Amino acid sequence: MSTGRAVHVVVPDGVDDPARPSGGNTYDRRVCQGLAALGWSVTEHAVPGPWPSPDRAASAALGTVVDGIRDGDVVLVDGLVASPAPEVLVPQSRRMRLVVLVHLPLGAGTPGEEGLPTRHRERAVLSAARAVVTTSEWTRRWLLDQYGLDRNTVHVARPGVDPAEPTPGTATGGELLCVAAVAPHKGHDVLVEALAAVQDLSWRCVLVGGSGSDRAFVETLDRRARSAGVADRLHFTGALTGASLEAAYAAADVLVLASRGETYGMVVAEALARGLPVIATAVGGLPEALGAVAGGRPGLLVPPDEPEALASALRCWLVDGALRERLRALARERRETLPGWTDTSTRIARVLSEVAA
């Protein structure tokens, strides 16, 4: 289908780097592909720099990209690039049609991390945009509450999933899977403490995710696991993609996520696409990603930063076969209700069309 529409998409450099897989990178890539499939002419600009904390060179690189965009063109900018760059984007927003894609409101901060842009900088960029696209209803509410944006300009396009074969699961339910970057805000320390509290039960936990540059946190995790006597039951694989990641999902019984903050939680949707139940923290958009069907939620939600609560949920899962079967059935039912990537791209295309008009 040809629409005659054109859009510039500005993303952080490294969007296709297999060593840095992330939900945001996957979302950006799939949306670019989806818009092209819907008949849009997509011009992608990958901007180098340490986003979302740009140095002078990164800001200059963004300025060069924007200077090359014609007056009146539609421009979709990843929030990691847009939110910390009001000096570049706000003046230019008067001549081009700026749309910002917010994966994570940087003004909300990330627990355990410093140096994120202040709220007034992000608010300036989002207020100057013709439209804002968020990846969850939770993020939309946060932006409206905190920044006072026009609610008619803030839209939701939830991440899609690809069709996948249901996982068979094991009889004991002891194959636990965590898919998350090994970093403080993902709560691996809470998970290790919770697992230590259920070491009398039979389980193994595979932890998929890169450790980045925070070696101190990784070393602390290792010490805690060894001290608690569970180190030999934890298997850190590093970042996985493609067939290796598929194999990790296929071998699992349940996804466990102890995050301190999430705007949506794409790995939750990915697990549900395979009929995997989820045990996760009730933070941000995670309950939204988990969702529910007529019979209830396809998983268990616990408060963040409470290893005792997470341990209790894990114990319930591991000892109660009837609970496991009920949650598996609900997960398979929820699997049928998840949006696909075409749905995501179509929603964004509608926003871009409105802005283009």
User: What tens digit of pLDDT does each residue of 265-303 get?
Assistant: 999 999 999 999 999 999 999 999 999 999 999 999 999
Q: Total structural domains in the chain?
A: 2
Which amino acid would we find at residue 253?
Answer: D
Q: SS3 of 354, please?
A: helix
**166 in any annotated domain:** no
Q: SS3 of 308, please?
A: helix
What is the structure's pLDDT at 248?
A: 97
Q: SS3 of 292, please?
A: coil
What is the structure's pLDDT at 324?
A: 98
- Tell me: do 137 and 219 sit in the same domain: no
Q: What residues in the chain have per-residue pLDDT under 70? A: 1-4, 18-21, 110-117, 213
What is the gyration radius of the CA atoms in the chain, in angstroms?
21
Q: Which helix (H) or strand (E) holds 45?
A: strand 41-47
What is the structure's pLDDT at 21?
A: 64
What is the structure's pLDDT at 15?
A: 75
- Tell me: do 260 and 315 sit in the same domain: yes
| Burial state string for 193-222 with b = 16 or more CB within 10 A and e = fewer than 16 | bbbbbbeeeebbbbbbbbbeeeeebbeebe
Phi/psi of residue 48, each to 5°? -70, 155
**205 in any annotated domain:** yes
- Tell me: do 223 and 255 sit in the same domain: yes
What is the structure's pLDDT at 111?
A: 42
> How far apart (Å, rounded) are the C-alpha atoms in residues 48 and 239?
22
Domain that holds residue 111: 6-160+339-356
What is the structure's pLDDT at 108?
A: 84
**167 in any annotated domain:** no
**313 in any annotated domain:** yes
- Tell me: do 331 and 352 sit in the same domain: no
- Tell me: do 254 and 183 sit in the same domain: yes
- Tell me: do 104 and 196 sit in the same domain: no
DSSP class per residue in 187-203? THHHHHHHHHTTTTS--
Cβ atoms of 350 and 321 within 8 Å: the answer is no
**10 in any annotated domain:** yes
Output the domain CATH number for residue 272.
3.40.50.2000
Q: Which of 46, 42, 23 is nearest to 33 (CA)?
A: 42
- Tell me: do 322 and 183 sit in the same domain: yes
> How far apart (Å, rounded) are the C-alpha atoms in residues 109 and 261?
9
DSSP class per residue in 231-257? GGGEEEEE---HHHHHHHHHT-SEEEE
**75 in any annotated domain:** yes
- Tell me: do 98 and 145 sit in the same domain: yes
Cβ atoms of 75 and 48 within 8 Å: the answer is no
Tokens of residue 219, six digits: 């070393």
- Tell me: do 37 and 99 sit in the same domain: yes
What is the structure's pLDDT at 112?
A: 40
What is the structure's pLDDT at 24?
A: 87
- Tell me: do 112 and 187 sit in the same domain: no
**169 in any annotated domain:** no
Phi/psi of residue 228, each to 5°? -85, -10
CA 139, 144, 148, 150 torsion-angle sign: positive
Cβ atoms of 8 and 318 within 8 Å: the answer is no
Longest dimension (CA), the chain: 65
**72 in any annotated domain:** yes
DSSP state of 137: H
Q: What share of the chain is helix, strand, coil (3-state, %, to 5)?
A: 45, 20, 40
Neighbours of 147 (CB within 10 A): 18
Tokens of residue 231, six digits: 């180190």
- Tell me: do 199 and 316 sit in the same domain: yes
- Tell me: do 132 and 45 sit in the same domain: yes
